[in-house]
Structure 1
Amino acid sequence: MSDHPPSRPHRSDRHGGAPIGRPRDPRSLFVRLIEFLSPGPDSTAELIKTLADAEHRDLIEPESRVMLEGVIRMAGMTAGDVMVAFKRMDLLDIDAPYEELLRTVIDTAHSRFPVFEGSRDNIIGILLAKDLLKLQRAPELNLRTLLRPAMFVPESKGLNELLREFRTNRSHLAIVIDEFGQTAGLITIEDVLEEIVGEIEDEFDDEEEESGIFTLADGSQRVAGDVEIAAVNEAFGTQLPDDDFDTIGGLVAHELGRVPRRGEQVNLGGLRFMVMLARGGAVRWFKVTRALPADEAGLA
């Protein structure tokens, strides 16, 4: 007979859960997974490098790596990093006639609009585009009764926390306020999610290249929307006007009358600008080629 009595099972063995007296691991499953793949990363850059190595070893799929990188990068970002700047916000005037409101909704194709009264900085609520249609069937309705409460957040609000608030409040749009209490811009839940599933620091970004103009494999050029017009003229030997606008994105949007959408093409100054990526109310990247002589200027 054994001199040692049989050990008693932990209470957790009988009832499930963590053993009594053994502290739970406070780390998330994601953190423990990363440490399992490559223990002890000391920085975000090293952590991202570890994910790339895991993809190369076929431990994770490329799509999973992109999303995990998005989560990591998003943890250090704020609403001010992603917001649409105040000057580029599409707003509705509470006192504007119905026809003007409807025209703005159709032209911009947004689903939600901040509504102001008096000054553009005085935002009094959010209007859903579908709610505006109710005025067409019942003109006696007061537009104010259709407004949803506006959600206000500071520029310093972290995207992780903001995403939780969007989910908790069932909101899709927030007005971003600067340190002086003035409207700095707006941010949507789609903007936040794009930082996870979209391109954060995508393959178009190259820290070693600061011109914002890159040559592609097919001989065309990739041009950032915030590249100065003077730089475009120098690179392509064109004479695009730069008196009223500084960036090529601003000039193209002005010529078109709105921000072009992904896949759309604009011919300007002998060049064809095809939108590769648009985000936050602005074009991030164009693919630029020489326009054919038979092409007419304008939207293609």
Structure 2
Amino acid sequence: MPPITELMMFALALAAAGVVAGVLAGLFGIGGGAILVPVFYQVFGLLGVDDAVRMHLSVGTSLAIIVPTSVRSFLSHYRRGVVDIDLLRNWLVAVPLGAILATVIAAYVSSETLRLIFAVIALAIAFRMIFNRASWRIGADLPNNPVKWLVGVAIGVLSGLMGVGGGVLNNTFMTLYSRPIHQAVATSSGVGVLISIPGLFGYVWAGWGEAGLPPLSTGFINWIAVGLIIPITLLVAPVGVALAHAMGRRQLEAGFGIFMTLIAFRFFYSLYG
């Protein structure tokens, strides 16, 4: 067990990550998992968590934290009247189904595979963040079913495997089909709810009885980390919502894209370095 001073530093690092994750939840309509998963991966490693379960635990714990963060972010956006409720209704089955499929996949793949999936999707997200242009459009409105429904399943699967709320993926989908960015951000907070709740229960099931999990873990959810970070993210998520409706996003998107690039290469290095 590391000395108490090191544990305090880890706790402070988690708390700082919680602040950033909460603001991002409101600002980008994401659950903050893109920040939390790599931080958890590092902290759980320093605490001696078995490599075989470390990435799974990071992803599952991130999704558990996203539940209240996404709910609060969604309610804040909903009160502003900019959420696309029709799209969320259309995805009431599709997105949760994708999230559940992700937990089934996670139950049978290795930590290395899960890290590779995170790194590849993170690079794709980074490309979109850094090079995104308002002129990038595929159509004048969202596609009809079954395409739209299948996109919901895909967002659920990819987000569930990464431990994220699906905000960046849904923002990309909606803006490519000419929806306003503020509507995309607001709707993404609802997508986060549809992903995180089934994802939480799925990762409990996927990790049930696994060896090497740290104390106070239920499956691939560590409740110490959840209890530490949730109050912070709930407190600061409305700050991100206010920022999303009050400022330009280009520099923040580019900065987030650079961060995701660094995280992706960190995971690639852990696999092939």
How does the TM-score come out when normalised to structure 2? Answer: 0.26
Bigger radius of gyration among the two: 1
Q: Which has the higher helix share?
A: 2
* Higher RCO by CA contacts (8 Å cutoff, separation 6 or greater): 2
TM-score w.r.t. structure 1 length?
0.24
Higher strand share: 1
